Amino acid sequence: MLEANSERLYCLNRAAEAAGLSRGMSLADARAFCPGLMTDPARPDRDAAFLAVLRRWAMRYCPWVATDGRDGLMLDISGAAHLLGGEEEMLSDMQHRAARAGLSLQVGLADTRGAAWALAHHAPGRAAPGQTAAALAPLPVAALRLEAADITGLERLGLRHVGDLETTARAPLARRFGPGPLARLDQAMGRQGEAVSPGAEPPHYATRLTLPDPIGLLEDVTEGTRRLLSRLCETLQQHETGARRLCLTLRRVDRDSRQVELRLAAPMRDAARILPLFQRGLEGIDAGFGIDQMRLEATQVEPLPAQQLGVRSEGGGNARLEDLLTRIGTRIGLENVLHFQPADSHIPTRAFRTLPAAWSAPGQGWVPPRPRPLRLFSPEPIAGQGARPPERFRWRRMALVTARATGPERIAPEWWFDDPDWRRGLRDYWLVETRQGRRLWLFHTPQDPGWFVEGEFA
């Protein structure tokens, strides 16, 4: 792994440890020790994800599991050991299962968190209740989770084992090393408390309803959905989030399942508003021989802080519009419901963008540089010569006569984009009013002479 501009070893297997390599050693040194070393780049993020999975697995032994460092788990098994028949049985079960999964586990079990850490890292095994001091005494001082400088200092004084530290006078130690080593020692020996703080469970946005008898009527399914929704919305309320995408799974009696997905135009947690939006999806469900389990999950959530209501009434109008967009979105897809957004370009067709209304706010600040046509189409060639608009031309099978022309407005292509539409170079735009009434937006390309119609004015 790359750390502080040098490549260092992140972790190693047993064979490498036996060859004398250690963690944090630079890669060049390791290669010198062991020419046949095989390395892979470290992926700490994937390791962390795996450790989180392992933490979830470890919850089978006790509910109080915390991660420890980058490769450790800390379990507080107070009151949980007897469920597996005792501490020894629990340890062997743990080892057995881990071995089956291809993991090598080093487990330490002791009265205190510090002691268990020391055992796990330096002498895997179990210290019987009350035997902590005896079990720790022969271990090196590094087992006390000390700073590297403190360990070196203690070893220079000849205090190599935990037992030595225990029998030394405390006051000089505290003067020399500060409170750190003694606090760690006390924690390991149980004279000072240390809690295991388990990681917070991520909120789980799913609810389930199992029915004693299968149902098949639309009203029944709707009622079931309503109950699930009200429970889900309470969870969402607690965490100040709103659902963006909901997935309702209906399991049928024949073990087949049907899914209804609902994508919302805005994060929402109001059950009464979401339920009618499900209607269209539920109508298309084939219930078969009946549905006996329903599961509703918010597969995508977004933060939605609580808001003050009732001061201004405009919130109501927005909510109605969002509901409408959701219903339209279920029919034609939310990505086809669009807003205009101004864009920073002088190319007429790139001066605006259309973005999905569900994920963006409508754009403000429209300032057309000059009057622009209402409609734009891809350039349609017409016959014409010279730099002035043609007197007469045919466009879309209509014979038109120019009455008045305003222009030119020269627009240069954006050279940093290779836009095939602009291969002809500069454009001189003209507003041409015809005797027939049509007001067209023509352009002339002086670099590659030609005339085109690109838009129509009001």
Partner 1 sequence: MFQNAFPLHPARVHEVCGPGATAFAAVTCARARAGALIWIREAWQPDRLNPLGLVDFFDPARLVLANAASAVDALAVAEEALRDGAVALAVIEITRPLDLREGRRMQLAARAGGTTGLCLIPEGMGSNAAESRWRVTPLLDQGPGREARTMPGTTPGDSTLMHWALIKNKSGTTGAWDVRWNRKTYRLDVVSPVAQRPGSAGAPAGGPLRADLARS
- Closer CB to partner 1, residue 270 or residue 456? 456
CB count within 10 Å of CB 346 equals 10
E strands present in 200-256: 206-215, 241-252
| Cα-only R_g, the chain | 36
Q: How far is the CB of 339 from partner 1 (least distance, A)?
A: 7
- Closer CB to partner 1, residue 118 or residue 440? 440
**Tokens encoding 235:** 């969870």
Cα–Cα distance, 190 to 334 (Å, whole number): 60
**Tokens encoding 330:** 């279920």
* Main-chain dihedrals φ then ψ at residue 179, nearest 5 degrees: -75, -15
Q: How far is the CB of 271 from partner 1 (least distance, A)?
A: 20
107 neighbors 118 (Cβ within 8 angstroms): no
Cα–Cα distance, 322 to 339 (Å, whole number): 13
E strands present in 57-177: 65-68, 72-75, 108-109, 125-126
- Closer CB to partner 1, residue 146 or residue 325? 325
- Closer CB to partner 1, residue 175 or residue 331? 331
Could you please report the per-residue DSSP string of 414-443?
Answer: -TTS--GGGTT--EEEEEEEETTS-EEEEE
305: three-class secondary structure by DSSP: coil
**What is the bridge-based pairing of β-strands 291-303 and 352-356?**
unpaired
Q: How far is the CB of 285 from partner 1 (least distance, A)?
A: 19
- Closer CB to partner 1, residue 25 or residue 338? 338
Residues that bind partner 1 (CB under 8 A): 317, 320-321, 323-325, 327-328, 331-332, 336-340, 342, 348-349, 351-352, 354, 357, 362-364, 366-368, 370-378, 403-404, 406, 431, 433-439, 455-458
Cα–Cα distance, 32 to 35 (Å, whole number): 6
- Closer CB to partner 1, residue 56 or residue 392? 392
Q: How far is the CB of 442 from partner 1 (least distance, A)?
A: 13
- Closer CB to partner 1, residue 2 or residue 399? 399
Q: How far is the CB of 107 from partner 1 (least distance, A)?
A: 60
**Tokens encoding 433:** 């009013």
Q: How far is the CB of 250 from partner 1 (least distance, A)?
A: 25
Q: How far is the CB of 380 from partner 1 (least distance, A)?
A: 10
Q: How far is the CB of 336 from partner 1 (least distance, A)?
A: 4
Residue type (1 letter), 72: G
378 neighbors 386 (Cβ within 8 angstroms): no
- Closer CB to partner 1, residue 70 or residue 394? 394
Residue type (1 letter), 33: F
